[in-house]
Amino acid sequence: MSQIRLGTNAVNTWCPGCGNFAILNAFKSALAELNAEGLPLENVVLVSGIGCHAKIVDYLSLNSFYSIHGRVTPAAEGIKLANPNIKVIGFAGDGDAYGEGIEHLIFAAKRNIDITMIIHNNRVYGLTTGQYTPTSPLGFKGRSTPFGTRELPVNPLELMLASGATFLARGTSHGSELLKKIFKAAILHKGFSLVDVLQVCFTYFNMYEYYDKHVYDLAEHDPQDYNQALNKIREWDYNSDSRIALGVFYKKEIPTFEERFLSKNKKAIDRDVKINEFLETSI
C-alpha cells in the first residue's frame, strides 16, 4: 500500500473514546488502499454537515466542503452533477441525515445518483449535548426527554431500501477492518450507496458493550436478493433486543441519475459547449 499522508495538523476535539476515531481510521485505510489500486485522491471530494461527525473533514487532507445542517446530500449531489468524474462522499450524523435531511436522502436514493453517504449514527445529538434523534430507542433519556422519549425509532436502512438505494450496508465504530471493507465497497459502487455506522457516542450514549454483545457478520447473505436484504434489515429495528447484522445488505447495478441526466441533456450540453467556444473565440 502506498504511504500517503491523509491526516492534517488540525487539533482533534472529539471526546476520548468517541467512535468517530474508528470511522476516521477505517476511512483513511480504505482511501489509502483505493489510492494504491488506482483512485487519484485529487478526484475525491468530501462533504460534511453540522455535528461532531462534521469535523472528520478537518482531519483529512482531501478536498472538502462543509454544508449546513441536513444538507449534506444535496451539496454532494450538486458536486457530482457538476463533475460526474469525481468520487463524492458525504459524512452526516443521524440527526443531520435522518432528521433534518431525510427528504434529501430519499430523493438521492430514488434517483440513484452516484454518491456515497456515510452516516455516523450515534443515535443522539452529540454536539448539542444529548437530545434524542430519529434513531434513539424508545425511552431514551436525554436533555430534551428527561422522562424518556415516547417515540419508536426509524429503521433508516429499511427506509432507504424502499426508496430505491442500490447499495446499503451497516458497520460499527468497533470493527475497523470490516468497516474499511464496507467503505471501499460503498465508494466503488456505481450508484447511490449508504453506510449506516453504529458510532458510539462515549459521552451521551455509550453503547459499546451492547453492540459488542449483539452484532454479527453477515457472512452467508446474497446482497442481490431484495427480499433477503429486507429480512436481514428488519431483523433489528433499532429498538428491540435482537441480533444486529453487519455488512452489505443490498447491492444492485442500474443506470445512475447522472447517466440518465447527461444522455437526456446531451443536446443542451453540446449547445452550451458551442456557445462557450463561440464566446471564447469572440473575446
27 binds, among ligand SF4, Mg ion, none (CB under 5 to 8 A by kind): none
Q: Which is nearer to Mg ion, 108 or 201 (CB)?
A: 201
127 contacts: CB under 8 Å, gap ≥ 6: 50, 51, 52
Q: Which range, of 81-89, 185-193, 201-209, 228-236, touches ligand SF4 by CB under 6 A? A: 201-209
Alpha helices in 169-265 (DSSP H): 176-188, 208-214, 226-234, 257-264
CA 202/CA 208 separation, integer angstroms: 8
198 binds, among ligand SF4, Mg ion, none (CB under 5 to 8 A by kind): none
94 binds, among Mg ion, ligand SF4, none (CB under 5 to 8 A by kind): Mg ion
Q: Of the candidates 250, 239, 121, 230, which has an alpha carbon nearest to the alpha carbon of residue 189?
A: 250
Among 26, 52, 60, 195, binds ligand SF4 (CB under 6 A): 52
Based on the shown chain and the rule CB under 6 A, indicate whether residue 122 belongs to the binding site for ligand SF4.
yes
DSSP conformation letters of 115-135: -EEEEEE-SSBTTTTSB--TT
Based on the shown chain and the rule CB under 6 A, indicate whether residue 126 belongs to the binding site for ligand SF4.
yes
Quote the least distance from Cβ 46 to Mg ion, whole Å: 18
- Report the interhelical angle of 176-188 vs 20-36 (nearest 10°): 50
Among 73, 122, 149, 172, binds Mg ion (CB under 5 A): 122
Q: Which is nearer to ligand SF4, 28 or 80 (CB)?
A: 28
